[in-house]
Structure formats: structure tokens, C-alpha cells
Amino acid sequence: MSDTSSQKLISSVPLTDLIGRLDEIARLESHAAGHSADNLLVVSGAPRVGVSEILRQTYDRVFLANADILPIYFSVSANDRDAISSARRFAYEFLLQFLAFKRNDASLLELRPSLDEITRLAGLSDAVFVDQVVELLTSNAENPWVDLYRTLFALPSRLSAAGTRCFVIFDNVHRALSFADSEVAMNAISEVCIEAGFPCVVGGRRRAVYGKFTDKVLAVERLGFEDAGLLIESLARKNNVTINDQTRDLIAVQLDRDPQFIGDIIRRAAVTNTSLDSFQAFESVYADEMSGGMISRRLDSEFSIAGGDRELGHALSLLTAKVSSSPQQSASAKKVGERLGIGSIDLQRSMACLYSAEIASINGDRFMVETECRALDDYLELHRTVETPGISRAQAIGERAAHYVKRAPHLMARHYRRLSALGIADLLRTFDGREVPLAMLDYGKFRDDLKGRDASEIADRLATDTDIITLPKIVYTAHSSAYYRPIGEFVDTERSAVALGFEQNDGSDIAWLATELDSKLEASASLTEFWCDRLEMLAAHCDLPAFKIWLIAPEGFSPEALAVLAERNAIGSSRAQVALLRSHVGIENVSAVDDSEEFRMTIPMGDDTEMLAVHMIEEIARRNEYPSSAINQIKTAVVEACINAAEHSLSPDRKIYIGVTAKRDNIQISIENRGVSVAIKQAASTEEATGRRGWGLKLIKNLMDELVFQQSDDGTRLVMSKTVERKAAAA
């Protein structure tokens, strides 16, 4: 076949539009081809991370490859209600996809022919097998339902035994949790896959599949922030929705990089012809989604599945909303069942569904709401507000919309703080009882012995330092708010951790309570004392008999703060010390950030306005310590480029758009204008021309190391760059 990357059968988008998931699909295609040591691969992830789309894409690739591998895709549905209904639907999907593959006719997947039509469409070589399967589905014989269930799910094995290469995908197996016989369904799928002699895949939510299937697991993580941004930009472009960098990032942060929710927001904006070019515009669309849009309906569905029907699901969502707003975010499980009017068995089934959806769980005799999804939190809070006596639905929605707008800048500020977090929990996990120089942890010693010295001297001194500290051996680490929820009011989750372990020398238990502080200068005594109090409260709440407080401030601690730390038997470190410690224990520090600086400027054409750009670029060059000769050459080239754009573009807006990317040893400048495009060949030919225009372009090329003309949408972009020799600058 021709390139199939843009074709789709059961997937939602062409493979070319799938962002951030190509590695997973390549792994699954390799598994389908039989390149895995085990025949079963489990693909799992959090709700809505895109597991199903990955599996559907894989099915499409295998089918469209027109190879000798028969792919079968089956998605368990909560509407099946029980195992036998699910098995019967699997048998139909199996026949349909088998026939589509044999006839090389993907259109059958969409036409959904009846069993009678499938029988008539079957070729002579397959007629007997197809008739046997149809008879199984339509027969009223008194077969034990468990035997029939397993027989239907094992149909691919019959083909495999006859020589057909099969590849079977069981998707959304977590939905079987809503069945009364959920254990039977899950066990049967597991048995069929393990016993099969061909590659199988089981896909579902991580909490549902964990422990149910023991083979290799391909964990699908949330989209990275950059990939989420690319997805938002792609969807906005395809739906003609205007966004900007700020709203793109807010959408990614507020929706927790959830592909489904992101798509829901963009599509609603497209339908309502709303631009998402401001925080307020986005939050208005978001509020609409929360109050009856697709996001709200998706979450309604989670509760309907857990409750067994819409009415009970609605009651369950309201009850969950009330519990989530309580101080402890928990309630008696027995009382929850009584409020819902269901028995213990139905309650367990409902809780299993909510646990799989990462909404709530049963811990002992307590029903606990434990969501980490911001959209779900907003959904529950709106539910609770709408049900508050004396508040109309319109008022509730309006108040929440106003809240979202006010919250947006704080969400982004928190996001930026998270990006700059040190990764305390990851660092604590590396503590294995080794000895390290005390100067890596104790700021007082670091300040006196090492601060201000160059990196090589610090390394030499640490290598010979005999004043050491023995780290504990850490066996478990979690964020502090998981131990003591109130601490989350004062610090972001990523900036505080509790690590449990034992001392290497005597084996005694120890807990390290670590927190990263916000302080522009050396942390003060009052800030240090505040956090020592908070962490001691955590230790008392969790009944930790032995603990060590470890505080980290960007610039270390003042002498008064160090005295507080000494009184509390605590340790204080600076970010510089943490960087040294990370390197010492084998953790890479944050990758070096691109040292380039980017600047943008728009100037009007004429009246010597190019001199404004020249002054800006000169200042940028001086900041990077370029030699005067190079600066003068760059300035002359910019003037010539601006004059060229003004004289020959016939620009309708009479503006020049200038971009500068500067590094210590290189500068790149783009001069762009709207209007008449200058073809690259035409630009090159001007070198031989006489007069001002040809002379100017030739001069630019002589002054700069590289000169390139690019066509923009309705104009021309000239890009020129120059490399600066640092040695020449020193001379």
C-alpha cells in the first residue's frame, strides 16, 4: 500500500497528527510482529491519557500494512452489563474484523453488517468457520455460560491453531469492573491471553490492571508539557481557533495535559466562534464545559458507570462532591452506602469503578476522595455549589467562572515554581547510607569553606574533605501533603517530601522531612522557625519518634537562621549545595538551558526608524561582549536590510518585524516584512545589479557570515547570522 500514516480506520486522528505517542505505537507494532519474548503485553495509564487511541492506532497500522497478521480490536463496554454479553459482542467484532481483513475491505468496519450479512459475505474457504461462530451466537442451547464465555473469547486461538497469525487487543478492560461478575470477566481475559500462542495486548486504567495481569507492562504517561502545547496548537489550527502562548500554556496546566479535555475545549471554542486569546476567554469556555459541556458529560459518565445508572450516578457524584469539600475529604463507607440506598456488594462495585477512575477509594471503613485532577475538582465543586440552598444555577456558574479567571495567574505561577523545583523526593530516594562531605548539606560550613570559589576548587576541596556525614538508607518517599494534608496549604507538592528509612550505623528508624523554601536572599530566622514548626507538627501528627528536618533555601540561611536550625537539630542547605549533592549521588542536574537570548521588535518604515533597531541590537551585542569591529559590521548590515525592506516591499502595513537570537558567540537576525515577496533567485541576481539595491545586499553578505532569503506567508524574511570569535575579541 501507499503511505498509511494519514489513513485511519478505527482511530480518531491520522497517525501524523498523533503527538508524543510514536514510541509506544512502535513498541506495540513490534509486539504484534512477534518480536516480544512474552505473548502478552499490558498497556496501562491514568484515566484519559490516551491508551485507547494508542491501541486503535496500532490496530490501524497492522491492518493497513496488508501483511499476514490478522488484528482484532475489542473494547469492553460498561453497557455490556455482564461477562457473557461482553463475550457475545466480542464474537461479533471478531467475525466482522476477520471478514474485513480477509476481503481486504476496511469499509466493513464502518458498515457494521448483520450476522446474516456476514454469513453471506464469507468466502468459501471461511464459510464453515463463520457458520460455526454464528451458530454459537444464535443458538439457544443450554451451554454453561462460563464455558460459552471462554469459548467465544478463545475464537482467535482456533484460527491460530489452523495457521492464521493473529494479534488481539482487549481494550478498556477496567470497564468490566461495573459487571456483577467482574472477576470472572477479568480472569477469563487473562487466561485467554496467557494461553494464546500469538501476541495479545490488554489495555486499561492502571489501577484496574495492576495485579490482575503479571506480564510486561507498557506504562503510558501523561503528555509532556511541550507535547501538550504542540497538541493544543495543532487542534487550534485545525479548528480555526485563535490562541496565544499564554493561553496555550494555561490550557495545558489547567487541564493537566489531558488530551480529551483539551480537545473538548478547542472544539467548543470552534463551535461558539470564540477566540482563546486571553485567560478570561478560555475560562469562560471552560466554565461552559463544566456546566454541561463535553467535559462535564465525560465525568457524569464515570459516576453513572460506578452507580449503575444515571440516577444513582448523579446521587453518587453529589455525595462525592460533599465529601470532597469536607476538611478530611472522607466519610464513613457504611453511611455512604446507606445514603445511596445500596448494599455492601453494590457499594464495593461502585467503589472499584471510582478507584479505577482515580476519584475515590475505600480505605478501611472510610470512603476517601483522592483526586489529583483539577477539572474533576472543579466539576465536584460546581456540583456542590449548584445544590447549595438559595443559590441559583446561573449564580453558581457565574461565581465559579469568576473564580477560574482569578485563579488562572496563580495556576501559572505555581507551574513556574514547579518547573524550578529541585526534585527533593527523587533526591531523597538516592540516600543509601553512603558518607558525603558535610559541606554538601550544612550551609554554615559551605559558606565558610566553599562559597564563592570556582567549580574546580570546590571539587578539589570536597574530594579531600574529612568532615563527613552519613546519610540514612531511605526505603520509602512521598510528598509531605500525603502524610499531613494541611502542609499543602503552605508549599507546592513538589517542594516538600517525607522520606522513611533507617540509620546505617545502628539500624534505628529515621524520617527525613525536607522542604524547599522561597527566599530571594538568605532565609531569615523567622522563615526558618516557621518551617521547623510546620514540619514538627507533621512529625507529631504521624507519630514519628525520630526525624531530621532538612530545609533548602536558594541562597542559604542567615546567621540567625543557622542558629535556629542548630537549636532544632535541623539541617539547612542552599540550591548550590543540592546541585553538588545531586552530582555526588549520581543524579543529573537540570539540563543546561539554551544560553541564547531572544528579542522581538516592530518598527515603522521610514524616517530613519531603523536606527531604533540598530541601537537595540548594539546593546544586545555589548551584553554578550562582542568586539567593536563585529558590532559595527552587524549594525551596518541591519541598516541595509531595513532600507531594502522599506524600498522594495510595497508593504501594506509599512512595518518591519525584527527578531534577534543572540548567544555568546553567535547572533542571528531576521528582518521580515509584508508585501511583495522577493524570490530567492531574484535576491541572488541582485548581486550583479548596479545601483543602490544590488550594492546593499552584496554588502550585507560581505558583512555577515550567512544570508538567506525565505518566503513568508505574504512577504519576505531575510535571515542573517554572524559568528563571533572570542579570541579575536580578546585581542
CATH number at residue 330: 1.10.10.10
Report the run of H or E that residue 366 belongs to, with start and end. Answer: strand 366-369
What amino acid occupies position 657? Y
- Total length of the chain: 731
Phi, psi of 252 (to 5 degrees): -65, -40
Is the pLDDT assigned to residue 202 strictly greater than 90?
A: yes
Taking only the tens place, the pLDDT of each residue in 87-109 is 889 999 999 999 999 998 999 99
Q: Which residues contact 684 (CB under 8 A, 6 or more apart)?
A: none
CA 614 to each of CA 176, 618, 640, 672: distance values in angstroms, whole numbers, following the listed order: 67, 6, 11, 15
Residue 464, judged by CB atoms within 10 A of its CB (0-12, 13-18, 19+), counts as: exposed
Closest CA to 228 of 258, 261, 270, 269: 258
- Ramachandran bin of 364, using left for φ above 0, alpha for ψ from -120 to 50, beta for the remaining angles: left
Whether 499 contacts 450, CB under 8 Å: no
- pLDDT at residue 380, as a whole number: 95
Could you tell me if residue 252 is inside a domain? no
Query: Among the three residues 323, 358, 387, which one is the final residue of a domain in this structure?
Result: 387
How far apart CA 429 and CA 70 sit, in angstroms, is 45
118, 178: one domain: yes
How far apart CA 205 and CA 586 sit, in angstroms, is 33
Q: How confident is the model at residue 341 (pLDDT cuts 50, 70, 90)?
A: very high
Closest CA to 45 of 210, 191, 175, 183: 210
| SS3 assignment for 208-226 | HHCCCCCCEEEEECCCCHH
Could you tell me if residue 205 is inside a domain? yes
- pLDDT at residue 162, as a whole number: 87
Q: What's the total number of domains in the chain?
A: 4
- E-strand spans in 446-536? 468-470, 473-479, 496-502, 509-516
- pLDDT at residue 518, as a whole number: 87
CA 320 to each of CA 331, 368, 662, 698, 731: distance values in angstroms, whole numbers, following the listed order: 9, 9, 54, 72, 72
Q: What is the CATH number of the domain that holds 64?
A: 3.40.50.300
20, 65: one domain: yes
Q: How confident is the model at residue 83 (pLDDT cuts 50, 70, 90)?
A: confident
Could you tell me if residue 704 is inside a domain? yes
Is the pLDDT assigned to residue 710 strictly greater than 60?
A: yes
- pLDDT at residue 589, as a whole number: 59
Q: Which range has the top average pLDDT, 13-22, 508-517, 720-729?
A: 508-517
For the ranges 168-182, 296-310, 637-651, 653-667, which has the lowest average pLDDT? Answer: 637-651
- For the entire predicted model, the pTM comes to 0.75
Q: 446: domain range?
A: 424-584
- E-strand spans in 465-596? 468-470, 473-479, 496-502, 509-516, 547-553, 571-574
53, 157: one domain: yes
659, 618: one domain: yes
Closest CA to 470 of 497, 443, 431: 431
- Inter-axis angle of helices 245-254 and 259-271, nearest 10: 130
Q: What average pLDDT does the segment 291-319 reach?
A: 94
- pLDDT at residue 1, as a whole number: 39
Residue 465: Cβ within 10 Å count? 16
Query: Among the three residues 185, 203, 220, which one is the final residue of a domain in this structure?
Result: 220
All three cell numbers of 252, joined, read 495545558
- What percent of the chain shows pLDDT beyond 70? 92
Could you tell me if residue 267 is inside a domain? no
Q: What average pLDDT does the segment 538-545 reach?
A: 92
- pLDDT at residue 708, as a whole number: 84
649, 544: one domain: no
Taking the CA atoms of residue 281, residue 285, residue 287 and residue 292 in that order, the dihedral angle to the nearest 10 degrees is 170
All three cell numbers of 4, joined, read 498509511
Could you tell me if residue 575 is inside a domain? yes
Closest CA to 250 of 262, 259, 260, 238: 262
91, 158: one domain: yes
Mean pLDDT of the chain: 87
537, 648: one domain: no
Q: How confident is the model at residue 140 (pLDDT cuts 50, 70, 90)?
A: low
- List the Cα angle 393/395/401 in 5-degree steps: 105
Q: Which residues contact 312 (CB under 8 A, 6 or more apart)?
A: 304, 340, 342
Query: Among the three residues 338, 360, 387, which one is the final residue of a domain in this structure?
Result: 387
How far apart CA 71 and CA 63 sit, in angstroms, is 6
| SS3 assignment for 67-135 | CCEEEEEEECCHHHCCHHHHHHHHHHHHHHHHHHHHHCCCHHHHHCCCHHHHHHHCCHHHHHHHHHHHH
- pLDDT at residue 727, as a whole number: 44
Taking only the tens place, the pLDDT of each residue in 391-447 is 899 999 999 999 999 999 999 988 888 887 888 898 999 999 999 999 999 999 999
Whether 257 contacts 20, CB under 8 Å: no
Residue burial 274-295, b: 16+ Cβ < 10 Å; e: rest: bbbebbebbbbbbbbbbbebeb
All three cell numbers of 633, joined, read 559590521
573, 610: one domain: no
Beta pairing partners, 276: 243
Whether 231 contacts 259, CB under 8 Å: yes
Q: Which residues contact 253 (CB under 8 A, 6 or more apart)?
A: 411, 412, 415
Higher pLDDT, 651 or 665: 665
- pLDDT at residue 681, as a whole number: 40
Residue burial 52-71, b: 16+ Cβ < 10 Å; e: rest: bbbbbbbbbbbbbeeeebbb
Could you tell me if residue 261 is inside a domain? no
Taking only the tens place, the pLDDT of each residue in 438-488 is 999 999 999 999 988 888 899 999 999 999 999 999 999 989 988 888 898
Is the pLDDT assigned to residue 684 strictly greater than 60?
A: no
Could you tell me if residue 246 is inside a domain? no
433, 361: one domain: no
Could you tell me if residue 664 is inside a domain? yes
Closest CA to 522 of 560, 495, 548, 566: 560
Taking only the tens place, the pLDDT of each residue in 369-396 is 988 899 999 999 999 999 888 889 999 9
- pLDDT at residue 454, as a whole number: 84
Is the pLDDT assigned to residue 525 strictly greater than 50?
A: yes
CA 482 to each of CA 178, 352, 442, 499, 635: distance values in angstroms, whole numbers, following the listed order: 29, 21, 27, 12, 58
Is the pLDDT assigned to residue 299 strictly greater than 80?
A: yes
Taking only the tens place, the pLDDT of each residue in 270-281 is 999 999 999 999
310, 383: one domain: yes
Q: What is the CATH number of the domain that holds 714?
A: 3.30.565.10
How far apart CA 392 and CA 388 sit, in angstroms, is 8
Q: Where are the alpha helices (DSSP H) in 325-422?
A: 333-340, 344-356, 374-386, 393-419
635, 526: one domain: no
Phi, psi of 278 (to 5 degrees): -150, 160
606, 679: one domain: yes
Closest CA to 380 of 332, 326, 338, 305: 326
Q: What average pLDDT does the segment 519-524 reach?
A: 90
Closest CA to 581 of 419, 468, 417, 452: 468
528 CA to centre of own chain: 34
How far apart CA 7 and CA 246 sit, in angstroms, is 33
The count of C-alpha atoms lying within 13 angstroms of the C-alpha of 288, restricted to the half-sphere facing its C-beta, is 14
Is the pLDDT assigned to residue 690 strictly greater than 50?
A: no
Q: What average pLDDT does the segment 1-26 reach?
A: 81
Q: How confident is the model at residue 499 (pLDDT cuts 50, 70, 90)?
A: very high
- pLDDT at residue 74, as a whole number: 96
Taking only the tens place, the pLDDT of each residue in 67-79 is 889 999 999 998 8
Taking only the tens place, the pLDDT of each residue in 591-635 is 444 566 788 888 898 878 888 889 989 988 888 888 888 999 999
